[in-house]
Amino acid sequence: MKIGILSSGGDCPGINATIRGVGKTAIMHYGMEVIGIHNGFSGILKKDTEEFTERSLSGILNLGGTILGTSREKAFRKLIKKDVDGQASIIKQNYEELSLDCIVCIGGNGTQKTANLLSEIGLNIIGVPKTIDNDVWGTDVSFGFNTAVNIATDSIDRLHSTASSHKRVMVVEVMGHKAGWIALHAGMAGGADVILLPELGYDIEKVNEAILDRAHRGKPYSIVVIAEGLQTPDGRRPADYITSAIEEGTGIETRETVLGYTQRGGSPSPFDRNLATRLGGHATELIANKQFGRMVCMKGDHVDSIPLSEVAGKLKIVTPDNELILQGRRMGITFGR
Ligand code: F6P
């Protein structure tokens, strides 16, 4: 068999470990041919590819980013089924001209949606979930998330000492798109006093009361971890709005930190390397068994797979009954309501 691998959407630590997991299993265990497709789905449209060997897949396990390049190419997302713009024909033709038996699509929600469309027009596709946001539906966890939480937690740890020295409130905005997974996990691991998630919303009066209450109890500083997906009344960036609302409401000097892209840069954690390796290996196993149109996933501690059609268009978000939230509330952490 001959397979292609592509990465699409925002990059994230662990993509190269996945490429290696898919590719080395394919070459060494199943004797398949493997090519890399450059820059996401645009690489299939342009037939922009490279051949992989066992050797070219060495030394990339701990590398951040993606050796294949990536893009947020969405050109055929809506029109491909009717082939209004002829893209479906080009993709099918290129797939055949490259003699591919399957394409492994490594990516987040948008990628899995496109992967499902390609599967529906008759291509053999396997999806691998990838995102620091942990919001891909159908898998308990995606690689990149653990690394991002480690980076964000380390930053929150560092903000504690400066917050306490200056008796300030520190507002830290973390990534997560529309979901609050990074804010919840890094906030709890970093000992935050207030954690605000898009899924729960917030009442700024309650946030200010909690901060003032801490000050009255002899703790004149606070750490507030907020998700980038929070809504604000005036459309301002969450860190900006929450910081000024706290300073005005409490009279305590308040500073903001936006962690940004550091959260998805650099080397994957050991947990993410092993997760990516297992998901990648399972993707190749599905191909060898001709079980196409599926996304590999984690169910508890086990690697598994589900139909791409079940994943497409859904989002996995934090629910109010999350055990970390319940435990946080029992320890006096404020979740904004
Ligand atoms: O999905 C990963 C992510 O890093 C989000 O957390 C963030 O909102 C977004 O990508 C930023 O992406 P871009 O690369 O388009 O700026």
- Mean pLDDT, the chain, whole residue set: 95
Question: Does position 75 have pLDDT exceeding 60, yes or no?
Answer: no
What number of other Cβ atoms are within 10 A of residue 265's Cβ?
A: 15
DSSP state of 26: I
Kindly report the protein residue whose alpha carbon is nearest to atom 10 of ligand 1.
10
> 261 alpha carbon to ligand 1 midpoint, in Å?
8
Mean of the pLDDT values across residues 77-81? Answer: 58
- One-letter amino acid at 334 equals T
Q: Which of 48, 83, 101, 133 is catalytic?
A: 133
What is the reported pLDDT for 72? 81
- The pair of structure tokens assigned to 29 is 């265990």
* % of the chain at pLDDT higher than 90: 93
Q: Is 135 in the active site?
A: no
CA dihedral 297, 299, 302, 304 (to 10 degrees): -40
- The pair of structure tokens assigned to 257 is 């930190």
CA 136 from centroid of its chain's CA atoms: 8
What residue ranges in 38-191 does DSSP mark as E strands?
49-52, 102-107, 125-131, 143-144, 169-174
* Each residue's pLDDT tens digit, 164-221: 999 999 999 999 999 999 999 999 999 999 999 999 999 999 999 999 999 999 999 9
At 88, the pLDDT band (50, 70, 90 cuts) reads confident
How many Å apart are CA 282 and CA 286, to the nearest integer?
A: 6
Question: Does position 79 have pLDDT exceeding 70, yes or no?
Answer: no
> 238 alpha carbon to ligand 1 midpoint, in Å?
15
At 78, the pLDDT band (50, 70, 90 cuts) reads low
Q: Are 113 and 135 in contact (CB under 8 A)?
A: no
* Each residue's pLDDT tens digit, 266-284: 999 999 999 999 999 999 9
Atom of ligand 1 nearest to the CA of 108: 1
Question: Does position 241 have pLDDT exceeding 60, yes or no?
Answer: yes
> 133 alpha carbon to ligand 1 midpoint, in Å?
8
* Each residue's pLDDT tens digit, 124-168: 999 999 999 999 999 999 999 999 999 999 999 999 999 999 999
Q: Is the CB of 133 under 6 A from ligand 1?
A: yes
* Each residue's pLDDT tens digit, 305-322: 999 999 988 999 999 999
Atom of ligand 1 nearest to the CA of 177: 8
Residue 27 phi, psi dihedral angles, 5° rounding: -75, -50
> 10 alpha carbon to ligand 1 midpoint, in Å?
6
Mean of the pLDDT values across residues 70-83? Answer: 67
Q: Is the CB of 130 under 6 A from ligand 1?
A: no
What is the reported pLDDT for 86? 80
What residue ranges in the chain does DSSP mark as E strands?
2-7, 33-37, 49-52, 102-107, 125-131, 143-144, 169-174, 194-196, 222-227, 254-258, 294-299, 302-307
* % of the chain at pLDDT higher than 70: 97
